[in-house]
């Protein structure tokens, strides 16, 4: 099986990607804005389905087996969203009142509506900076004093790879292994928020299973760079995934004829995985186009996310985002003076070239 395109070759382009005119809107807000391609729509229409709650949907079963193998785990469970996959992962490993170690800026804390506290009753303890931390920082955050009953038990470490708020950064393989080994020595279980694990694997030129190997549970997403309309999977041991089925129902995430979503995921793995490398190339093109502009500081992208900071006399991020929206470039403020651009399946090279031209016009005219 190819590491660059699991299960099949990729088409040369997404039929919906190219802007139809110089004034077309270019959406760089997120890789979640992709639309199903004609081939994916055909796969959805042709999907053989059954009742997944009765475990009778063959397309769901095929996707779960496929993803479990790709991630190197015994089993996988299809859920509606990445947030649910992460929250099920948390629930498997903790008890109410526990501490959970997370990286700075983690999606689990920033973008999941306080679910960790509401659903699992845990406290989130941040370690490191910019999404990454060392073994020494991990040990310092763990605290030897936790043998005292005055301290909350710390049972779980959650990592995010790639790291969204870190700008799509990839954990270096050696550092990842060292941190996970140290967590094991401290008696912590390990959960990976791998919403963009596919991007990390492509960037490092390795298999997703290599990056997922140290973790007890792994959440992966189909609706970001792979371009499916919905769906994530939680992967782990058969025992953990069987327990997660109950929690999925408890959280309202069980589905019936979910094969229509699973078919989109299988198509994405066959036809869109290889295009992640193109997204990374397009992100570098955007960053290069911004390089050298006065009062703009660009972080070199490692995957498909570009972050750039605005320095005075440029206005704040919200003002620049509004000006860019008026020029047909949709993007996101990612802090008072930081903007995020995300490349994806629906943005081709021509759209990126147009985006660079419009970005430069706006930033140079402010």
Q: Tell how far CA 320 is from the center of its chain.
A: 26
Pair 196, 32: CB distance under 8 Å = no
Q: Which CATH number covers residue 213?
A: 3.40.640.10
Same domain, 52 and 148: yes
Res 144: pLDDT = 54
What local confidence, expressed as pLDDT, does residue 315 receive? 94
Q: Of 234, 249, 271, which residue constitutes the final position of a domain?
A: 271
Total structural domains within the chain: 2
Residues 43, 266: Cα–Cα separation, whole Å:
9
Tell me, yes or no, whether 69 and 129 share the same domain: yes
Do 157 and 239 belong to one domain? yes
325 & 259 share domain: no
Residue 20 within a domain:
no
pLDDT at residue 8, as a whole number: 41
Domain-located, residue 156: yes
Length of the chain in terms of residues written: 366
**HSE-CB for 222 with a 13 A CA cutoff:** 30
**CATH number of the domain to which 340 belongs:** 3.90.1150.10
Q: Considering only CA atoms, which of 11, 18, 5 is closest in space to residue 39?
A: 11
Dihedral, CA of residue 39, residue 41, residue 46 and residue 49, to nearest 10: 130
Q: Is residue 30 part of a domain?
A: no
Query: Looking at the structure, do residues 99 and 188 belong to the same domain, yes or no?
Result: yes
Q: 61-91, pLDDT tens digit by residue?
A: 999 999 999 999 999 999 999 999 999 999 9
Mean pLDDT over each residue of the chain, to the nearest integer: 92
Residue 138 in tokens: 């991990």
Q: Is residue 31 part of a domain?
A: no
User: Domain ends where: 240, 271, 302?
Assistant: 271
**4-35 pLDDT, tens digit each:** 334 443 343 443 445 445 679 999 999 999 99
> Cα-Cα-Cα-Cα dihedral of 220, 223, 229, 232, to 10°?
10
Q: Does the model's pTM come out above 0.85? A: yes
Would 222 be classed as within a structural domain?
A: yes
Per-residue pLDDT tens digits for 324-363:
999 999 999 999 999 999 999 999 999 999 999 999 999 9
Residue-wise pLDDT tens digits, 236-277: 999 999 999 999 999 999 999 999 999 999 999 999 999 999
Would you say residue 224 lies in a domain? Answer: yes
d(CA 86, CA 307): 25
Query: CA 10, CA 26: separation in Å to the nearest integer?
Result: 23
Assess whether 171 and 304 both reside in one domain. no
Do 280 and 220 lie in one domain? The reply is no
CB 210 within 8 A of CB 12: no
Residue 136 falls within a domain, yes or no? yes
Residue 34 lies in a domain: no
Are 46 and 171 found together in one domain? Answer: yes
Cβ partners under 8 Å of residue 238, min gap 6: 74, 75
Residue that is last in its domain, among 219, 238, 271? 271
Same domain, 198 and 300: no
Say which residue the tokens 């479990």 belong to.
68
- Tokens describing residue 272: 């869109």
Instruction: Say yes or no: 195 and 251 in one domain.
Output: yes
> Where is 287: in which H helix or E strand?
helix 276-290
108 and 220, same domain (yes or no): yes
Give the range of the structural domain holding residue 322, as residue numbers without chain letter. 274-365
118 and 238 assigned to the same domain: yes
């Amino acid at each position: 099986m190819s590491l660059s395109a699991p299960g099949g070759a990729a088409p040369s382009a997404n039929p919906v990607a190219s802007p139809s005119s110089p004034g077309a809107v270019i959406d760089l807000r997120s890789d979640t804005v992709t639309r199903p391609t004609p081939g994916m729509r055909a796969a959805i229409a042709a999907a053989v389905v059954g009742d997944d709650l009765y475990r009778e949907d063959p397309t769901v079963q095929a996707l779960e087996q496929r993803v479990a193998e790709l991630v190197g785990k015994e089993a996988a469970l299809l859920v509606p969203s990445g947030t649910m996959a992460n929250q099920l992962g948390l629930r498997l490993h903790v008890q109410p009142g526990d501490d959970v170690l997370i990286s700075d800026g983690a999606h689990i804390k920033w973008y999941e509506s306080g679910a960790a506290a509401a659903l699992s009753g845990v406290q989130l303890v941040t370690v490191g900076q910019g999404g990454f931390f060392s073994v020494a920082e991990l040990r310092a955050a763990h605290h030897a004093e936790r043998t005292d009953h005055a301290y909350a038990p710390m049972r779980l470490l959650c990592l995010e790879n790639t790291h969204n708020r870190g700008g799509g950064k990839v954990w270096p393989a050696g550092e990842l292994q060292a941190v996970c080994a140290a967590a094991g020595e401290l008696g912590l279980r390990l959960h990976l928020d791998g919403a963009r694990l596919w991007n990390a694997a492509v960037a490092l030129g390795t298999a997703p299973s290599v990056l997922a190997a140290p973790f007890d549970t792994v959440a992966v997403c189909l609706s970001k760079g792979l371009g499916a309309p919905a769906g994530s999977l939680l992967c782990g041991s058969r025992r953990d995934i069987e327990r997660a089925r109950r929690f999925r129902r408890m959280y309202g995430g069980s589905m019936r004829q979910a094969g229509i979503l699973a078919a989109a995921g299988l198509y994405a793995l066959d036809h869109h995985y290889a295009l992640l490398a193109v997204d990374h190339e397009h992100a570098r093109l955007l960053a290069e186009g911004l390089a050298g502009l006065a009062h703009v500081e660009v972080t070199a992208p490692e995957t498909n996310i570009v972050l750039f900071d605005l320095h005075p006399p440029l206005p704040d991020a919200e003002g620049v985002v509004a000006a860019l929206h008026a020029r047909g470039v949709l993007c996101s403020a990612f802090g008072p003076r930081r903007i995020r651009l995300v490349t994806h399946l629906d943005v081709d090279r021509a759209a990126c070239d147009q985006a660079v031209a419009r970005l430069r016009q706006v930033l140079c005219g402010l």
